[in-house]
Structure 1
Amino acid sequence: MRCTRTQGKKGELHRNPDDPPRKRANKNRGRGTYENDRPPVVGMVGRETGWACFRVCLDTKEETIRAAVAEETAEEACIFTDENRSYLWLENEEESRTRNAVDHSEEWAADQDGDGIREVHVNTIEGIWTSLRNRLRRFRGVHKDHLSGYVAMFELAYNNDQVTPALLQRMCGV
């Protein structure tokens, strides 16, 4: 079935040349920040538990990433990341967490111990990002002040595939 309202209108000029169509999306290059209207979302998922955690941040500076990772991961955790420089603090000798990184310009996953199994990858969180983007796409844009609420609802749905009495009690603060 064809839409008759817009059929044949693609070649027509805009009725008011002083009123151009609105710009779509924020196409600024580089990493997003809250100030440039592209707030970054830091995401973590446990390899063994599958439990995911997301935080909307003001920027992707080392201090911001460090606070989010330290809050949500165990002291002795091994963190798998991409080549982003914001994670370099994990390679510090005083840090109890360790880091394994994948350089995506060279490979999608790394075989760390030479046994033929590529155990260092970030495919799990990359797949979850796709799900989050698809969830947010339904709303055709989310205001940055409300993004954390949408992300929290996605996290809740991802981590709890069933509504149980225990989940309802946690949601109600009981």
Structure 2
Amino acid sequence: MKHIDSKTLKRHLAQFTLPHAVANTDEWNGYNQIERKRVTVNHGEHEWARDDDGDGIREVHINTTEGMWTGTRNFLRPFRGVNKDHLSGYVAMCEHSINLKSITPEFIAALVSCT
């Protein structure tokens, strides 16, 4: 996304997430306008994760998102920089590898048939 504000974020959420999905965010004010259930951590108050339901697991955090971007940086590092015109393609390749839970025979067959 080239420009990030509440309006852009709302459009993006509507396009790429299910209406009942819960948004895990930090305290950035731009998130206040999203029209869905939201749980937050307040990094400004040194809160990084929280156990809201008392089961001992800190389910409120944004580490998944932060970890995804760390993985993306690690994926791009061997290229020693990429042309910004092609960055979205590299990020899409990384996203695909994150979304691909297992390499199945069907996946290999589809991959081979593309060549």
With normalisation by structure 2, the TM-score equals: 0.80
- In the TM superposition, structure 1's runs of 4+ consecutive aligned residues that sit over 3 Å from their partners are 113-117
Structure 1 residue 126 corresponds to structure 2 residue 70: no
**Identity value in percent:** 49
Question: What amino acid does structure 1 have at the position aligned with 2:106?
Answer: P
| Alpha-carbon shift at residue 98 of structure 1 (Å) | 0.7
Distance 1:81 1:141, change over 3 A: same
Distance 1:84 1:157, change over 3 A: same
Distance 1:109 1:165, change over 3 A: same
Deviations 1:111-132 (A, max 9, x none): 3345554221111222121110
Structure 1 stretches lacking a partner, 5+ long: 1-56
With normalisation by structure 1, the TM-score equals: 0.55
Structure 1 residue 74 corresponds to structure 2 residue 13: no
User: 2:33 maps to which residue?
Assistant: 89
Look up the SS of the partner of 1:100 in the other structure. strand
Distance 1:105 1:164, change over 3 A: farther
User: 1:39 maps to which residue?
Assistant: none
Q: If you compute each CA radius of gyration, which structure gives the higher value, 1 or 2?
A: 1
User: 2:97 maps to which residue?
Assistant: 157
User: 1:146 maps to which residue?
Assistant: 86
Deviations 1:92-117 (A, max 9, x none): xxx3x211111112211123345554
Structure 1 residue 105 corresponds to structure 2 residue 44: yes
Look up the SS of the partner of 1:138 in the other structure. helix
Cα distance in 2, alignment partners of residues 164 and 88 from structure 1: 44
Distance 1:83 1:150, change over 3 A: same
Look up the SS of the partner of 1:146 in the other structure. helix
Of residues 78-87 and 158-167 in structure 1, the stretch that sits farther from structure 2 once superposed is 158-167
| Alpha-carbon shift at residue 81 of structure 1 (Å) | 0.9
Structure 2 stretches lacking a partner, 5+ long: none
Cα distance in 2, alignment partners of residues 113 and 165 from structure 1: 40
Alignment length, in residue pairs?
A: 110
C-alpha RMSD of matched pairs (Å): 2.3
Question: What amino acid does structure 1 have at the position aligned with 2:43?
Answer: H
Question: What amino acid does structure 2 have at the position aligned with 1:111?
Answer: D
